[in-house]
Amino acid sequence: GLAALVKFQRSRRLLGVCYIVVKVSLLVVVEIGVFPLICGWWLDICSLEMFDATLKDRELSFQSAPGTTMFLHWLVGMVYVFYFASFILLLREVLRPGVLWFLRNLNDPDFNPVQEMIHLPIYRHLRRFILSVIVFGSIVLLMLWLPIRIIKYLLPNFLPYNVMLYSDAPVSELSLELLLLQVVLPALLEQGHTRQWLKGLVRAWTVTAGYLLDLHSYLLGDQEENENNANQQPNNQHARNNNAIPVVGEGLHAAHQAILQQGGPVGFQPYRRPLKFPLRIFLLIVFMCITLLIASLICLTLPVFAGRWLMSFWTGTAKIHELYTAACGLYVCWLTIRAVTVLVAWMPQGRRVIFQKVKEWSLMIMKTLIVAILLAGVVPLLLGLLFELVIVAPLRVPLDQTPLFYPWQDWALGVLHAKIIAAITLMGPQWWLKTVIEQVYANGIRNIDLHFIIRKLAAPVISVLLLSLCVPYIIASGVVPLLGVTAEMQNLVQRRIYPFLLMVVVLMGILSFQVRQFKRLYEHIKNDKYLVGQRLVNYERKSGKPGTSTAPPQSSQE
């Protein structure tokens, strides 16, 4: 303002650019930093009773590690915002264009958040921020705080969840965490059926609510009429999409959506407005809140209850971190739903086809179990035990103490090591192990080749691991005592032979690599000094007859 008053045009432009930069930066910090942090803290506050915690505990944790506490709350809030936005995108695929006119469409190619930050005034951004906080906070109250209160009233002994960092179960937290991260969650996240199921549930709920409240045209649109119009008058439909001018009676939100989509890829679809429309919308919102509450109650209780029941057969009455029980119960529920959907899809094909499918799937499951026992059971166990003998035991256990081995922990660490080795192998140069792994991955579970996997992958890998474990033990326990050494020397050899042989193998690998490099260097120097030229000559077999076809030409050096 001062620069414009004194007519400093260049200074005014520079200050304007600086203002825009500061404004956009602050808005980005607020939307990406402050808003998720607020959501994370609000989620934590509303879920205190679920974990039997108090605000005093959160205050002590913040005082002990403020940076970590703030980052964890920001991360939780960011995940919450991300999945909320993903659910809104899924709703747009089901609902009629124009229902969610009050929410920004992130898939719209005309949507430019930076341009909005620049052009809209500060009070508009502030109003939008406050509205977002109210909406997100209300959803947390509806789907977290209120279900917790209902669960505590109906099932007093179900809560709190056990989320302590230690466990009195005979199972290591590290092992269960690795099992969760390496087995359960990837199997759930890599399946494309989960999103289709959720979309089907949303569509079924929308159809039910639409027919109950006579809002089918408002929620889903007149599909039959649209299909007829699309078949009879595609050009008129295209023109109507490009010139979406609302007619009288469609409402303010219809006009707003038409203005937003002016010239956009998706047009506003008209709908039939029933009697007492505001009351029906209010009942729709109430029905939606009740549905979200029931869904939240099921998600908070059913997986954890199923996981606790299944874990009780293994660990008894010992308490386990609820993250693992919830993951186990969620996985079992997913498998059950998947099996039911597969059977429902097979029902119209007849009993004979069902028996044939069951036979094929049973055979496939048996093959998969055999492969899983070998590649996900034996190989990780041997690999984890070898790592324990080579690295962990020599570093952690003194010579005057006896090392203790826990097969479960060794297997869990072996799973992690096997995945790392497989990833490095797939990223490395071409050799037999990489070729076999790529072939197994390309075949998949449906076309699993048990004979190929056992002969080409499982047998060589297990043989190498067994030789790595048995040969040093035989040398230390069978050969060394025959030499007449003392007991202390025998103990030293038994404890240090594994890292010693590892050093020998690594040294031999380095030496062979250096020998190959020196040979290449020798050939390169020899060619640079003595090579006169190169000439292509045909390679002819000595035993071949005259007139037979020859191989491709090779290069000879002089």
Please say which residue of 134, 160, 186 terminates a domain: 160
d(CA 12, CA 8): 6
Residue 100 lies in a domain: yes
Q: Is the pLDDT of residue 549 over 60?
A: no
Q: Is the pLDDT of residue 366 over 60?
A: yes
**Arithmetic mean of pLDDT, 143-165:** 86
| pLDDT tens digits, 451-508 | 999 999 999 999 999 999 999 999 888 888 888 888 888 888 888 899 998 899 999 9
Q: Is the pLDDT of residue 230 over 70?
A: no
**Arithmetic mean of pLDDT, 67-79:** 90
Which residue from 478, 506, 481 is spatially nearest to 390, judged by alpha carbons? 506
Q: Is the pLDDT of residue 253 over 50?
A: no
Residue 526 lies in a domain: no
Residue 282 lies in a domain: no
The proportion of the chain whose per-residue pLDDT surpasses 90, expressed as a percent, equals 24
Out of 241-250, 410-419, 460-469, 529-538, least confident range = 241-250
Please say which residue of 160, 179, 204 terminates a domain: 160
Which residue bears the tokens 């007492």?
A: 276
Task: Find all residues with CB under 8 Å of 12, minimum gap 6, and list them.
Answer: 3, 4
- The partner residues of 537 in beta bridges, in order of sequence, read 554
Could you tell me the pLDDT band of residue 143, with boundaries at 50, 70 and 90? very high
Question: pLDDT at position 168, please?
Answer: 42
Question: pLDDT at position 386, please?
Answer: 92
Residue 312 lies in a domain: no
Question: pLDDT at position 217, please?
Answer: 84
Residue 398 CA to its chain's centroid (Å): 41
Residue 374 lies in a domain: yes
- The partner residues of 555 in beta bridges, in order of sequence, read 536
**Arithmetic mean of pLDDT, 358-385:** 89
d(CA 101, CA 280): 18
- Give alpha helix (H) positions in 95-121: 113-119
Out of 82-91, 300-309, 467-476, 536-545, least confident range = 536-545
Question: pLDDT at position 362, please?
Answer: 87
Q: Is the pLDDT of residue 225 over 70?
A: no
Question: pLDDT at position 192, please?
Answer: 53
Question: pLDDT at position 392, please?
Answer: 86
Could you tell me the pLDDT band of residue 164, with boundaries at 50, 70 and 90? low
d(CA 414, CA 387): 8
Residue 546 lies in a domain: no
Question: pLDDT at position 219, please?
Answer: 85
Question: pLDDT at position 250, please?
Answer: 41
Question: pLDDT at position 379, please?
Answer: 93
Which residue from 29, 521, 441, 101 is spatially nearest to 269, judged by alpha carbons? 101
- The domain containing residue 486 runs over which residues? 361-502
Q: Is residue 74 helix, strand or coil?
A: helix
Which residue from 423, 396, 422, 425 is spatially nearest to 409, judged by alpha carbons? 396
Question: pLDDT at position 161, please?
Answer: 85
Question: pLDDT at position 104, please?
Answer: 73
Residue 436 lies in a domain: yes
Most confident segment among 51-65, 283-297, 388-402: 283-297
- Of residues 525 and 347, which shows the higher confidence score? 525
Task: Find all residues with CB under 8 Å of 98, minimum gap 6, and list them.
Answer: 253, 254, 257, 268, 269, 271
Give the count of domains, the chain: 2
Cα distances (Å, whole numbers) of residue 161 to 69, 180, 362? 20, 17, 37
Q: Is the pLDDT of residue 187 over 70?
A: no
Q: Counting beta carbons within 10 angstroms of the beta carbon of residue 129, is it exposed (0 to 12), middle (13 to 18) or buried (19 or more)?
A: middle
Say which DSSP state 265 is in.
S
| pLDDT tens digits, 5-58 | 777 778 878 888 888 889 899 999 999 999 999 999 999 999 998 888 888 988
DSSP string, 180-215: IIIIIHHHHHT-THHHHHHHHHHHHHHHHHHHHHT-
d(CA 430, CA 424): 12
Could you tell me the pLDDT band of residue 156, with boundaries at 50, 70 and 90? confident
Question: pLDDT at position 235, please?
Answer: 46
d(CA 527, CA 529): 5
**Arithmetic mean of pLDDT, 122-127:** 89
Question: pLDDT at position 183, please?
Answer: 57
Q: Is the pLDDT of residue 293 over 90?
A: yes
Residue 54 lies in a domain: yes
Question: pLDDT at position 244, please?
Answer: 40
d(CA 434, CA 487): 44
Which residue bears the tokens 């303002």?
A: 1
Other Cβ atoms within 10 Å of 328 Cβ, number = 24
User: In whole angstroms, how large is the CA radius of gyration of the chain?
Assistant: 34
The pLDDT mean for the chain works out to 80
Other Cβ atoms within 10 Å of 342 Cβ, number = 14
Q: Is the pLDDT of residue 312 over 90?
A: no
Q: Which helix (H) or strand (E) holds 241?
A: helix 234-242
Question: pLDDT at position 53, please?
Answer: 86
d(CA 26, CA 219): 37
Q: Is the pLDDT of residue 558 over 70?
A: no
Which residue from 371, 387, 374, 366 is spatially nearest to 463, judged by alpha carbons? 374
d(CA 94, CA 206): 8
Please say which residue of 502, 523, 553 terminates a domain: 502
- Of residues 254 and 449, which shows the higher confidence score? 449
Torsion angle, CA of 19/22/23/29, rounded to 10 degrees? Answer: 180
Say which DSSP state 401 is in.
S
Question: pLDDT at position 329, please?
Answer: 85
Q: Is the pLDDT of residue 376 over 70?
A: yes
d(CA 251, CA 99): 12
- Give alpha helix (H) positions in 120-166: 122-140, 146-154
